Amino acid sequence: MRVRLAKTAGFCMGVRRAMDIVFDAIDQKGDIYTYGPLVHNPQAIDMLKSKGVKVLDSLSDSLEGTIIIRAHGISPEELAQIKKKGLKILDATCPRVMKVQSIIQKQAKEGYHIIIVGDKEHPEVKGLLGFSQNKGVVVSNIDDIDHLPANMENVCIVAQTTLDISEFSKISKKIHEKFLKVKIFNTICDSTSKRQKEVINLAENVDSIVVIGGRNSGNTRRLVNIAESTGIQTLLVETENDLDPEKFIGMNVIGVTAGASTPNWMINRIVERLEGFRKNEGSFFTRFWNNLLRFTVKSNIYVALGAGCLSYVCCLLQDITPRLPFSIIAGSYVFYMHILYYFIDKKAARFNDPSRAEFYEIHKKTVATSIIFSAMISLFLCFNMGWRAFLFILLISLPGLIYGIKIVPNSLKKMLRYQKLMDIPGSKTIFIALAWGAVISILPVIAINSKINISTGIAFFFVFVLVFVRSALFDIMDIQGDRIVGKETIPITIGDKKTKSILKSLLGALSFVLFISSLLGIIPKLGYILLVCTIYGYIYIYLYERKAVSHGILMEGIVESNFVLGWFASIFWLTYLH
């Protein structure tokens, strides 16, 4: 059974913006309130409550602090009441909703009667009515049109932003037939339209559709209705516990989509649970390879293998004879450091990578033993190479060992701001790339008592860029979970678009360095062949941007295969071109 995740699943622009506003407010002092639920998703609301954000259904006289206007927007009258309370106001109204508000306000001033097509009880619609200057009515279905006053001369029709586009078309056409002068504004959000069209396309190529979202979410219910209208089995789920394996027996492809207020961590959990249903499906060979892939990726064995492969490549780049101990040291170092980082930062992992978190919790003792064993292997091998190599591995291990420890006293907190290395924005991504570069490219030079030269710098840059791109891309994927736990990753600090631009620029710079240094004879001609790694980096970034592969085991495996690809490229060069 395969899982196909819709490209448009999850937070829309408006919800993402609202969440960002709340997270930014959480970092400040004082009480934080949202006027009504920020979004219609129970898990998202529960998460905000756990961060101290309170939901207000009414305004009391004793409020102090910051109040955040929900994504659905509110009426001008409600806003005026809030202002009278003297609260700090942060407006998280979706820009698409703001556009509808301005249309209604303008057309009402020009004397038009406003007809809002949507759910009468939806908070967005209630807020929109407040902008109509008492000239607005709501039409929820075709039958409501018969009850409209016949004396309305000038009519303006708008839609709730999350309305079913086909329903709006039918209703607006019927209204146009009843009145002479009608203006129609299709104010359905582009994201909503794309989401609905994608569900229809998805239904043509899958055996069942799972819609993830809150049961009280209007746009989620419409996705369910649209999917059901195609005749395909459709299931609405809020959490992974709502999934019944028996519903998917005998099915080959399951389509998954999600409402605009469904967080990524819930999508990840449900997709991973669905993918877990296929563990016992198919032939023995298929089950074996599926389970092997999951185990090697989730256990960090695969990324450790990749580090060993890069060690081989970097030795060739520096004209050093590759030795198995170099690869073992690199692999074992990366293995125990990556797991160590998980235990230091496991709060974020529970949101970003629930299956890995579950894997480590179940096998906690085995994982702890493997950390100690792999650390002893790398230290023992370095000790056999001499005191310089041994001290070097201890030195580059130090940042990882103290990463989550408070090293700055409280008295200096205000001056330095950060008390732990993990508090520094983007520190994990940068430290990982630096550590990989050091153990893979510099340690072999120290071990053979050679001098660090330009080729060492190029090898270091090669590893640094590949690992930095890998880690930063994962940070982009994990941006929602990281914001929840208060991490300041590079994408959170500068934005995901700028981060992707930096990653592409780094790959371009690496391509230039490999080509020029090979051309000038600074490194072996292998540099030409290793351009395949930079091209591969562009490919998996493109796959992520196009959402051709969902965030999960497969995507992680694809990204980390770049390190193994470098080894294959080196073997090809040694065999046929050297």
Spell out the per-residue pLDDT of the chain, length 578, in tens.
Answer: 788 888 888 888 999 999 989 988 887 778 899 998 998 888 889 889 988 899 988 777 677 889 999 999 999 999 998 888 888 999 999 999 999 999 999 999 999 999 999 999 999 999 999 999 999 999 999 999 988 988 888 999 999 999 988 899 999 999 998 888 899 999 999 888 899 999 999 999 999 999 999 988 888 999 999 999 999 999 999 988 899 888 888 888 999 999 999 988 888 889 888 887 766 566 667 667 777 877 888 889 999 999 999 999 999 999 999 999 999 999 999 999 888 887 777 777 777 777 777 777 788 888 889 989 999 999 999 999 999 999 999 999 888 777 777 777 766 666 666 767 777 888 889 999 999 999 999 999 999 998 999 999 999 999 999 999 999 999 998 888 888 777 788 998 898 999 999 999 999 999 999 999 999 999 999 999 999 999 999 999 999 988 887 667 888 999 999 999 999 999 999 998 87
- What residues pair up with 212 in beta bridges, in sequence order? 237, 258
Q: What is the pTM assigned to this prediction?
A: 0.85
Same-domain status, 267 and 323: no
- Is the Cα torsion angle 419, 422, 423, 428 positive or negative in sign? positive
Nearest to residue 103, comparing CAs of 179, 42, 160? 160
User: Which amino acid, one-letter code, is at 377?
Assistant: I
Residue 199: per-residue pLDDT: 93
Is the CB of residue 436 less than 8 Å from the CB of residue 310? yes
Structure tokens at 79: 């806003």
**Among candidate residues 93, 121, 145, the one where a domain is terminated:** 93
Q: Structurally, how many domains does the chain consist of? A: 4
Query: Which CATH number characterizes residue 469's domain?
Result: 1.10.600
**Among candidate residues 155, 188, 221, the one where a domain is terminated:** 188
**Among candidate residues 137, 155, 188, the one where a domain is terminated:** 188
Query: Which CATH number characterizes residue 144's domain?
Result: 3.40.1010.20
Same-domain status, 521 and 380: yes
In 388-414, which positions are buried (b, 16+ CB within 10 angstroms) versus exposed (e)? ebbebbeebbeebeebeeeeeeeeeee
Residue 57: per-residue pLDDT: 80
Same-domain status, 77 and 215: no
Crossing angle, helix 354-362 and helix 264-276, to 10 degrees? Answer: 60
Which DSSP string do the residues of 516-572 spell out, in sequence order?
Answer: HHHHTTSS-THHHHTHHHHHHHHHHHHHHHTTSS-TTHHHHHHHHHHHHHHHHHHHH
Which residues lie closer than 8 Å to 404 by C-beta, 6 or more apart?
344, 345, 420, 421, 422
Strand order in the sheet with 136-139: 136-139, 113-117, 154-159, 181-184
Same-domain status, 159 and 178: yes
Residue 291: per-residue pLDDT: 77
Containing domain of residue 58, as a range?
11-93
Same-domain status, 128 and 208: no
Q: What are phi and psi of 121, to 5 degrees?
A: -95, 0
Helix (H) / strand (E) containing 34: strand 32-35
Query: Which CATH number characterizes residue 30's domain?
Result: 3.40.50.11270
Residue 3 lies in a domain: no
417: phi > 0 → left, psi -120 to 50 → alpha, else beta; which?
A: left
Residue 530 lies in a domain: yes
Give the chain's length: 578
Q: Classify residue 112 by its DSSP letter.
A: P
Same-domain status, 523 and 376: yes
Residue 1 lies in a domain: no
Distances (CA, A) of 428 to 386, 393, 400: 29, 18, 9
Q: How far apart are CA 268 and CA 556, in angstroms?
A: 13
Q: How far apart are CA 348 and CA 355, in angstroms?
A: 12
Please identify every residue annotated as catalytic.
Answer: 124
Same-domain status, 519 and 540: yes
Nearest to residue 514, comparing CAs of 554, 571, 442, 459? 459
Nearest to residue 516, comparing CAs of 461, 563, 575? 461
Same-domain status, 241 and 345: no
Residue 575: per-residue pLDDT: 93
Query: How many C-alpha atoms does 345 have within 13 Å on its Cβ side?
Result: 32
Q: How far apart are CA 499 and CA 484, in angstroms?
A: 19
Same-domain status, 336 and 451: yes
First to last CA, the chain: 44
Residue 6 lies in a domain: no
Residue 118 lies in a domain: yes
Same-domain status, 105 and 89: no
Is the CB of residue 304 less than 8 Å from the CB of residue 331? yes
Same-domain status, 48 and 181: no
Residue 99: per-residue pLDDT: 96
Same-domain status, 390 and 474: yes
Which residues lie closer than 8 Å to 448 by C-beta, 6 or more apart?
320
Is the CB of residue 534 less than 8 Å from the CB of residue 507? yes
